[in-house]
């Protein structure tokens, strides 16, 4: 896959995650207001779990071979991405544990953290300057 295609796919997954964050915050606010929508919260969180896991898997699979072509910046960028994903995974699991009211109360902070991670990626290794088609040749086995 060309770097620009990988970038477009990963950015579309970021957009999808941000849409889910809006839905989740809306449902979490209703849970916190005592509206008894626990089933809705669990349903939207289940969708977030799947989308989040899919995104991190795609990001690592697509970006590792592209970033590795940059001998100077590639290895530290890859290492940082993997470390941040591992840390995110751990805080994600912790945020989802426990009673619905507690989970709902943690959503604003979790969303802020993941959104900050995505914004940082968009400024760094998902930027058009890094994922350029013109300076790298990708051998994807085709
Ligand atoms: Fe990421
Ligand atoms: Fe990402």
The model's pLDDT over 104-131, given as tens digits with 9 standing for 90+, comes to 999 999 999 999 999 999 998 899 888 8
**Token code pair at residue 13:** 């997954």
Residues 6+ away with beta carbon under 8 Å from 13: 51, 54, 55, 58, 59
Q: Is 1 a residue whose pLDDT tops 60?
A: yes
Mean pLDDT over each residue of the chain, to the nearest integer: 90
Distance 72 CA to ligand 1 centre (A): 20
Ligand of minimum distance to the alpha carbon of 13: 2
Q: Is 140 a residue whose pLDDT tops 60?
A: no
Note the pLDDT tens digit of each residue in 17-48: 999 999 999 999 999 999 989 999 999 999 99
**Which residues hold their Cβ within 5 A of ligand 2, which is an ion?**
59, 121
Asked, for residue 9, whether it belongs to a domain, the answer is yes
Asked, for residue 36, whether it belongs to a domain, the answer is yes
Report CA torsion sign: 62, 72, 124, 80. positive
d(CA 6, CA 131): 8
Q: Is 101 a residue whose pLDDT tops 50?
A: yes
Q: Where are the alpha helices (DSSP H) in 33-73?
A: 38-67
The pLDDT value given to residue 22: 97
Q: Is 137 a residue whose pLDDT tops 80?
A: no
Q: Which domain covers residue 32, as residue numbers? A: 3-123
- State percent of the chain over pLDDT 90: 73
Q: Is 141 a residue whose pLDDT tops 80?
A: no
d(CA 123, CA 29): 30
CATH code, 60? 1.20.120
Distance 33 CA to ligand 2 centre (A): 31
- Whose tokens are 């898997």? That residue is 57
Q: pTM to 2 decimals?
A: 0.88
User: In which band, very low, low, confident or very high, does the pLDDT at 134 lie, cut at 50, 70 and 90?
Assistant: confident
Ligand of minimum distance to the alpha carbon of 10: 2
Distance 100 CA to ligand 1 centre (A): 26
The pLDDT value given to residue 135: 60
CB atoms under 10 Å from CB of 91, counted, come to 14
Distance 28 CA to ligand 2 centre (A): 23
Asked, for residue 141, whether it belongs to a domain, the answer is no
At 83 the three-state DSSP class reads: helix
User: In which band, very low, low, confident or very high, does the pLDDT at 132 lie, cut at 50, 70 and 90?
Assistant: confident
Ramachandran sector of residue 15 (left: φ over 0; alpha: ψ -120 to 50; beta: rest): alpha
Ligand of minimum distance to the alpha carbon of 18: 2
**Token code pair at residue 89:** 């995974």
Q: Give the count of domains, the chain.
A: 1
Asked, for residue 66, whether it belongs to a domain, the answer is yes
């Amino acid at each position: 896959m060309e770097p620009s295609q990988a970038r477009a796919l990963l950015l579309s997954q970021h957009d999808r995650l941000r849409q889910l964050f809006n839905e989740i915050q809306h449902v979490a606010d209703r849970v916190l207001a005592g509206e008894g929508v626990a089933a809705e919260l669990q349903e939207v969180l289940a969708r977030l779990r799947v989308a989040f896991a899919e995104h991190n898997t795609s990001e690592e699979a697509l970006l590792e071979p592209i970033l590795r072509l940059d001998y100077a910046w590639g290895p530290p960028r890859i290492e940082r991405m993997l470390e941040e994903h591992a840390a995110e995974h751990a805080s994600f699991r912790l945020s989802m544990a426990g009673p619905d009211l507690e989970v709902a109360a943690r959503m604003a902070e979790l969303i802020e953290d993941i959104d900050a991670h995505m914004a940082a990626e968009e400024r760094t290794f998902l930027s058009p300057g890094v994922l350029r088609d013109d300076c790298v040749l990708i051998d994807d086995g085709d």
